[in-house]
A = this chain, B = another copy of it.
Amino acid sequence: MVSVTEMQTMYEQMVTARYYEERLQEEYLVGKQPAFDISAGPIPGELHLAAGHESSGAGVCIHLRDDDTVTAPHRPHHIAIAKGVDLKKMTAEIFGRETGLCRGKGGHMHLFDPDVNFACSGIIAQGCPPAVGAAMAAKKRNTDSVAVAFLGEGAIDQGGFLESLNLAAVQDLPVVFVIEDNDWAISMPKDRVTDVEDGSRRAWGFDMPGERVDSDDAVAVYEAAEKAIMRARDGNGPSLIEVQVHRRMGHFMGDAEAYRPEADIERAKQRDSIERLADDLRAHGVEDDELDEIRERAHERVDEAIAWAKEQPEPDPSTAYENVFTNPPAQTATDGGANTSDASSDGDEGGDR
């Protein structure tokens, strides 16, 4: 059973995520107005915001420890925050700075934090096999760590996810798959791409338990996730969970959603899991003051992270040649670095290839 403290923790993570993305959105639009240019401004590239998904990240990750692994998809911020990824370094990464989690090489879709075993990536269902592998390592090493792979409902048709279910099941691995069903895969509604309304049914064909949480009620997510994660931690094998969430915005920034019925947008906006959890907290006797305090703390933390990130230095161009390998070969694979006369006069960067 969820405790009030846990509900407060989830609430804090959810409002952090929501406010974080509101702020990111502002920053993202800098330099992109009046005409939207994806490559302009301090945060270029695609940006997939998760407003409406927060209950999933919070309700699942609250059961996880730092030594548990999480892989997230292209819409990762709410999950990263709930998993405890360093917010400053994550923000610096999104701003493409040298002190970012990945030294500016990954960006918003590729946040890697080894301290809390978090990674996300940009290709559909791509994180499922590595999560299975983390679970395999835990089992081999006889620890009670678990792994969780998050994916969208659009990813349940992708081979890599389906293969992962089977591999996890046959080897009884401590891994939980969490489908975030926001009804849409970019412009494609779920019923255009699969006949199965309840994505957790995919588990049936592999003899794995599957359960759907039909609303984005963080407490309901908490309960389903608790069961699945404890099952995994106790060595009883994998599970599949589908969580109904909502996409409150376009697929990525700049998506005008011309394909999406007005009513559907309205519906997604009405049912806000954050408000619902606030009501639950109030029902449990938590005062509005306390909620305000949580929100303020969250906002402060976010503002601080963003302010910090913006002060960070841009990566030196020469660092582009670093990190291809952990153990760079003694010689370079190409004469890379010769693209600019600057770089080729710098004798150093060639070594790290």
Contact = CB atoms under 8 A, between A and B. Distances in A.
A169 B194 contact: yes
A205 B205 contact: yes
> Taking each of A201, A203, A204, which has the highest tally of chain B beta carbons within 10 Å of its own beta carbon?
A204
Nearest to A156: B166
Contact of A204 (B159, B162, B192, B204): B204
Given A196-B206, A205-B204, A207-B196, A158 B163 contact: yes
A186 interface: no
Contacts of A202: 205-206
Contacts of A207: 195-196, 201
Interface string A202-214: 1111111000000
Interface in A151-165: 157-160, 162-163
A4 interface: no
Contacts of A201: 204-205, 207
Contact of A170 (B160, B170, B194): B194
A193 interface: yes
B206 A195 contact: yes
Interface string A189-227: 000111110000111111110000000000000000000
Contact of A159 (B162, B194, B206): B162
Nearest to A201: B205
Contact of A206 (B163, B194, B206): B194
A158 B164 CA distance: 10
A304 to B, nearest CB: 44
Contacts of A166: 157, 193-195
Interface string A124-164: 00000000000000000000000000000000011110110
A132 to B, nearest CB: 13
Nearest to A240: B205
A228 to B, nearest CB: 17
19 contacts: A157-B167, A159-B159, A159-B162, A159-B163, A162-B163, A170-B192, A170-B193, A170-B194, A194-B206, A195-B206, A196-B205, A196-B206, A196-B207, A201-B204, A201-B207, A204-B204, A204-B205, A205-B205, A205-B206
